[in-house]
Amino acid sequence: MTDFAKTRAMFDIPEGMVYLNGNSLGPMPKASEPAIVSFLNDEWKTELVKGWNTRNWFMQTNTLGDQVGRLIGAEPGTTVVGDTLSIKVFQAVAAGLALVPDRKVILSDNGNFPTDLYMVEGLMKLKADGYTLQTPEPEAVLDCINESVAVVMVTEVDYRTSRKHDMKAIIEKAHSCGAVVVWDLAHSAGAIPVDVDGLDADFAVGCTYKYLNGGPGSPAFIYVAKRLHEVVEPALSGWYGHAAPFAFDVAYRPADSIERMRIGTPSIAAFKLLSVALDIWNRVDLNDLRSRSIELSELFIREVEKRCPGLKLASPRDPQQRGSHVAFRFEHGYACMQALIAAGVIGDFRAPDTMRFGITPLFIDAEDILRASETLEDIIEKKTWKQDHFRQRLQVT
């Protein structure tokens, strides 16, 4: 059994704060500070350029990738970390389209995170030969998969409502129609068990700063099924993905492994922070995590519905259909969330009226859930959210 009291003790969360936003930015592990100081003093300062060999900086894309891979059901050697999720989405969709060159349809849904859709728009402009992006309602995606679709690009867990797509059904239908699937696991990795190899997934991408706690802007990841390693064409053909980067050949030749999805020199300081965050996950059984997340989410929903009848659950009521955050709609959601934050309960807000609460068992327990519900009740009851300063929109919501 995973000892969640122990994992909780491994994070540095300010005294008195209830942090329900690990679905947006994970908190800082206590090990982060000594790790970054040691990186500065014992690696960069002393090793300088030798560090690429002596500290194995060059291959951390792969060693950290394998650690992330364990959390999404990917066998070693199929996942690398680096770049940003937006870039990894571009890379995966471009590679997917090249596998099905006679088709011109990319299928996503109108609940997908906008950057995923924007990156596809940009990619289609570059290709300039009749591609279309379809964005039906999320519930209609399965029915829209047919023989005209080249790539299905979907995010497993909806960033607003927490509604889950059925990965198995989508992959099976796509494959039976000759399409490939790109999964965005931004709200799945470290939130729910995923089994990309078991489901015969093609591509998966995600970020490490949400549930995985790698720090603001920590590197993204990309998974490519082993059967595709020698056939995928890297559209972003950087030297770090070359078969022999130090041959400094003038012509690009992709590595014959997942390394071909590497692009350019990564931030090793960011890797160090990610590394200590991923070490915490070695103690975690994902099935334990899932049960606990459901238990805490159910408690939160029950308490909020009992105390604040004006709030409407925006997430599926069936826990099996949800990821690991819970969303409530409230007309004055923005101001209400600002009042909550001022009272030490941190969630966030997504336009037009959704308040999101990340339920992250690594560092949240039932006491936190009760305190958050009580604080929310107090704010609604006293209408604290009406204060002017809670209504002024900040740049990041």
Residues annotated as catalytic are: 113, 184, 209-210, 356
Check binding of 159 to ligand PLP (CB under 6 A): yes
Check binding of 92 to ligand PLP (CB under 6 A): no
Cβ–Cβ under 8 Å, residues 81 and 65: yes
Check binding of 349 to ligand PLP (CB under 6 A): no
Torsion, Cα 235 238 241 242, to 10 degrees, reads 110
3-state helix, strand, coil in the chain (%, to 5): 45, 15, 40
Check binding of 23 to ligand PLP (CB under 6 A): no
Torsion, Cα 386 387 391 394, to 10 degrees, reads -150
Q: Which one of 58-66, 110-118, 175-183, 264-272 is the stretch in contact with ligand PLP (CB under 6 A)?
A: 110-118
Q: Which one of 130-138, 183-191, 233-241, 313-321 is the stretch in contact with ligand PLP (CB under 6 A)?
A: 183-191
Q: How far is the CB of 341 from ligand PLP (least distance, A)?
A: 20
Binding residue for ligand PLP (CB under 6 A) from 97, 99, 207, 355? 207
Check binding of 84 to ligand PLP (CB under 6 A): yes
Q: How far is the CB of 207 from ligand PLP (least distance, A)?
A: 5
Q: Which two tokens stand for residue 48?
A: 């300088």
Instruction: Give the DSSP H/E element, type plus range, for residue 251.
Output: none
| CB closer to ligand PLP out of 113 and 300 | 113
Check binding of 184 to ligand PLP (CB under 6 A): yes
Q: Which two tokens stand for residue 354?
A: 């959704």
Binding residue for ligand PLP (CB under 6 A) from 105, 151, 179, 186? 186
Check binding of 188 to ligand PLP (CB under 6 A): no
Angle at 189 between CA 164 and CA 269, to 5 degrees: 150
Subset of residues 137 to 156 that bind ligand PLP, contact rule: CB under 6 A = 155
SS3 state at 126 = helix
| CB closer to ligand PLP out of 153 and 339 | 153
Q: How far is the CB of 211 from ligand PLP (least distance, A)?
A: 10
Binding residue for ligand PLP (CB under 6 A) from 28, 30, 104, 115? 115
DSSP 163: B
**Widest Cα–Cα separation across the chain:** 69
Q: How far is the CB of 36 from ligand PLP (least distance, A)?
A: 21
Residues that bind ligand PLP (CB under 6 A): 84-86, 113, 115-116, 155, 159, 184, 186-187, 207
